[in-house]
Amino acid sequence: MQFSIGVEYALHCLLYMVDIPAGKSVGIKDLATYQGVSETYLSKVYTKLRKSGIVKSIPGVNGGYALARNPESITFWDIVEAVEGTSPLFQCAEIRQNELLLDKNNLPDTHTKCPCLIKVVMLEAEEQMRQYLRNKTLQWLYEQLSNKIPEEDRKATIEWFNSIKQKQV
């Protein structure tokens, strides 16, 4: 199992967006340039985030994206699900019913009526991961990093984005 790079792109870019003042937005081109990622791919990620209600599109010449919800209400799992979709990570193919020595016409209930134990374990593990990621929010990440990133670096980031906006006006 592996999440796409889109999850990482989304988390990094959304993290910056916590500092954007209300009523302001940031463009995909600016986010992609700042993070050093593909603008085309990031645009596809942001389309998914918008459809999931995590960001909102701000129209206009200086438009872009802004958070659609408070950072404390956006969980890591919300972001994963927006980017990766809602399908379970484990897909049971019921191969237990293909066993060579079984009479396919007279399979016992243990092979047809009860859930596959492998599937049960895998789905329980997925639920634990999902629950863990639901307990980590964008606000939590922001606060954790605020304690680690020097204040002058955070200010420099905000100033960089502000200078880009001023050049576009």
Examine residue 101 and state whether it is found in any structural domain, yes or no.
Answer: no
Q: What is the pTM for the complete model shown?
A: 0.82
Examine residue 130 and state whether it is found in any structural domain, yes or no.
Answer: no
Helix axes 76-84, 39-51, angle to 10 degrees: 110
Examine residue 63 and state whether it is found in any structural domain, yes or no.
Answer: yes
Tell me the residue range of the domain where 14 lies: 5-86+137-168
Task: Give dist(CA 66, CA 49) in Å, integer.
Answer: 11
Examine residue 153 and state whether it is found in any structural domain, yes or no.
Answer: yes
Share of the chain above pLDDT 90, in %: 56
- Look at the chain and report how many structural domains it folds into: 1
- pLDDT of residue 119 exceeding 80, the answer is yes
pLDDT-derived band at 157 (thresholds 50, 70, 90) equals confident
- pLDDT of residue 99 exceeding 70, the answer is no
- pLDDT of residue 103 exceeding 90, the answer is no
Q: Return the closest-CA partner of residue 139 out of 83, 82, 78, 73.
A: 73
Examine residue 96 and state whether it is found in any structural domain, yes or no.
Answer: no
What CATH number should be reported for the domain holding residue 81? 1.10.10.10
Residue 156, classified by CB atoms within 10 Å of its CB into exposed (0-12), middle (13-18) or buried (19+), is exposed
Examine residue 114 and state whether it is found in any structural domain, yes or no.
Answer: no
